[in-house]
Structure 1
Amino acid sequence: MPGGERPTSALPTIRVGIVEKNQHTFWDGENAGWREAAARLGMEVAVAAPVQENIDEQLAMMRRHLADGVDVLGFVGTYPDAFDEVVAEAADRGVPCICFDLDAPRSGRKLYVGMKDPYTMGRWAGERMLALLPPGPRLIGLQTGSEKAAGARGKLDGFVDVMKENGHSVVGGANDGEDVALSRRNCEQLLAEHPDVDALYGVYSYHTAIQGQCVRSLARKPVVFGWDVLPETIELLQEGIVDTAVWIKEYYFGYYAATAVATLVRVGVDEALEVMGMDPVHLEGNVICPEAEAITPQTVDRYVRWRRDHGLEDKLTRLAS
């Protein structure tokens, strides 16, 4: 096309290997963003994930992507210090790596797309929980799916610090190991042992839905506040049973990550980072963080319209292999 840009269809296809943290419907939104941008930008994405959180399996999947000859690796930095070797192996092959959803900032990855650091976001959630609590000291029940994962630990620690700083007490926090059935039993046990609990907080996507289901029949409903907006969470928000579910804009993690990948490959890594206002040498600070949003019973219908407008009702399908 003389004097103009080549159409995307004329450019070589970019092959991207993606490795996520686990297989759960939470990732459907991120995958939809990856797929949408990839279709526009001439990319093929291959998504893999362990059934449950497992670093060794993540690393093995990344190495299989490299053996398959991908142009770029995108991965979820479940534990920030676990990926240094495989990122170095990718660099030796000339394959740039990026993180999304959770970061491994010192691994040598080129950039990160996702939420701000988990501790900061835990405090963000705590500040919003404060506005939902009645005056006076309150008791907050906690749930987590991992005792070690940086994302879960940070979102829990930041939240707990805000509660304690404001005179509230916390109970629970038992690790359910990403087992939804165990999560429900833990929630039911917590409510039985602490019938006076004023609020529930969970850091994994399924916790908010589980907690909402557990408190639905209670005469005295505690505040339910947690992370991520699953289809079942939407129903509980519309019923007024869940008070807040944090939408971290995961669709845009995938969409922006795919856009960044295309820029890195088409333009050149160092040049692309400079164009994006990032540092090609000091990589840790290269981050793109969409602002999270607290979805409430008052705003959930707007969120549902956003999903519909983006075609997500049709596109949210499991892509992990």
Structure 2
Amino acid sequence: MPNAIIRRPRPILLFMILLACSLALSGCFGGSNTNSRSSAEPQASAATGNAPARTFGIIYPMTHPFYETITRSAEEAAAEKGFRLIVKAPDEANQEQQIRMMETMIQQNVDGIAIDPVNGDALAPVIDKAVNSGIPVICFESDAPSSKRLAYIGTNNTLAGAKMGEALDKLLDGKGMILAETGMSRMKSLNDRLEGMLTYLNEHTDIQVLEVRYNEGSEDRALLNIEEMIDAHPHFDAFVGLDFVSGSASVLVWKAMGLTRYALTFGLTPEIREAIDNGQITTAMSQNEELWGGRIVARLAEAAEGKPLPLLDETGVAEVTR
């Protein structure tokens, strides 16, 4: 493996208006420094007549535009079946908040939970608690294989990392120097991607990895990492963002500095598509994220009905360039 260094109305009327606003706001945001949303609860599912609608929970690692596409497709799929969704996400990546969200959903006795765990090992006990209480749990994007989760939806991230290495190999003709940044240091998907990329580069190229840094899900930290790495290694040939936070940060840096060096990333958001068209991003590895929302709802519905699920629900990876 190559060497790598691993932010005026009347008084009474005015009072009533303010009181109503205050109650409305407390109902929406009270009790948690997290972002959440819930679809309107349907009266009954078209598929089940007068039967009560199922309620499923989705927990993301953090709040980010990357997950908006997944939420939209999940809400569309749920609406078709008359399901209710509860969607939660910490403001920034935080395993303790994810655990509390799981605990709350267990207390609410939802019909199924899909979680993208920040730390699969740390989340395993509460995942097991949900399953033991009769609530099926599936993972997506990142897995918790040591838990009792029923299925994983996403890509094989080791192979996806190798595909990133392959893309670098082609761009740099097998030699050169790169900088890399990734997200949460204990997130299985990100560690698998990094391992897959480094292994490919070590076995098939003479590309040197000058430095690898972690942003731990912080956009400010991601920006600072990239700027510092560029200052320390100004003659680098390419930058790789192994998570969408790094990719978004690199777009800002490339715009600000007018860089023409290669920049590659994971995750295909509208922002990244635009950056590809504008030349700030050379290559993006899409995990076909637009499929995840519908797949999550379908698998949770199957699990709630007691149907067996595929242990690995592979969505693949696709290289997107200009």
Give the secondary-structure state (helix, strand or coil) at the position aligned to 2:84. Answer: strand
Relative distance call for 1:87 and 1:179 in structure 2 (3 A) is: closer
Give the secondary-structure state (helix, strand or coil) at the position aligned to 2:109. Answer: coil
Give the secondary-structure state (helix, strand or coil) at the position aligned to 2:90. Answer: coil
CA deviations over 1:127-155 (Å, ceiling 9, x no partner): 1221111x352001111223232222221
1:224 is the counterpart of 2:263 = yes
Q: CA deviation at 1:40?
A: 0.9
Q: Distance in 1 between matches of 2:60 and 2:232?
A: 36
Q: Give the TM-score of the pair, scaled to structure 2.
A: 0.79
Report what 1:148 is aligned to. Answer: 186
Report what 1:304 is aligned to. Answer: none
Matching residue's letter, 1:211: S
Q: CA deviation at 1:179?
A: 2.1
CA deviations over 1:73-112 (Å, ceiling 9, x no partner): 2111332222332233223322111111211123111112
1:36 is the counterpart of 2:61 = no
Contact 2:92 2:218 in 1 (8 A): no
Q: CA deviation at 1:219?
A: 7.0
Report what 2:18 is aligned to. Answer: none
Report what 2:19 is aligned to. Answer: none
Report what 2:317 is aligned to. Answer: 292
Q: Distance in 1 between matches of 2:228 and 2:259?
A: 16
Matching residue's letter, 1:40: E
Give the secondary-structure state (helix, strand or coil) at the position aligned to 1:26. Answer: helix
Matching residue's letter, 1:225: L
Give the secondary-structure state (helix, strand or coil) at the position aligned to 1:229. Answer: coil
Report what 2:243 is aligned to. Answer: 204
Q: Distance in 2 between matches of 1:238 and 1:74?
A: 33
Relative distance call for 1:24 and 1:219 in structure 2 (3 A) is: closer
Contact 2:165 2:197 in 1 (8 A): yes
| RMSD, aligned CA | 2.0
Q: CA deviation at 1:292?
A: 1.4
Superposition map of 1:182-261 within 5 A: 182-216=221-255, 221-261=260-300
Superposition map of 1:102-141 within 5 A: 102-116=142-156, 118-133=157-172, 135=173, 137-141=175-179
After alignment, is 78-87 or 236-245 more displaced? 78-87
Give the secondary-structure state (helix, strand or coil) at the position aligned to 1:45. Answer: strand
Q: Which runs of at least 4 in structure 1 moved beyond 6 Å after TM superposition?
A: none
Q: Distance in 2 between matches of 1:43 and 1:247?
A: 28
Give the secondary-structure state (helix, strand or coil) at the position aligned to 1:168. Answer: strand
1:158 is the counterpart of 2:183 = no
Superposition map of 1:48-59 within 5 A: 48-59=88-99
Give the secondary-structure state (helix, strand or coil) at the position aligned to 1:105. Answer: coil
Contact 2:181 2:212 in 1 (8 A): yes
Contact 1:87 1:109 in 2 (8 A): yes
Q: Distance in 1 between matches of 2:320 and 2:135?
A: 38
Contact 1:55 1:78 in 2 (8 A): yes
Q: Distance in 2 between matches of 1:101 and 1:153?
A: 12
Matching residue's letter, 2:294: Y
Report what 2:24 is aligned to. Answer: none
Relative distance call for 1:214 and 1:64 in structure 2 (3 A) is: same
Q: Distance in 2 between matches of 1:25 and 1:88?
A: 29
After alignment, is 121-130 or 170-179 more displaced? 170-179
- Structure 2, unaligned runs of 5 or more: 1-44
Report what 1:99 is aligned to. Answer: 139
Relative distance call for 1:43 and 1:173 in structure 2 (3 A) is: same
State which structure, 1 or 2, has the greater radius of gyration over its C-alpha atoms. 2
Q: Give the TM-score of the pair, scaled to structure 1.
A: 0.80
Q: Distance in 2 between matches of 1:67 and 1:136?
A: 54
1:76 is the counterpart of 2:116 = yes
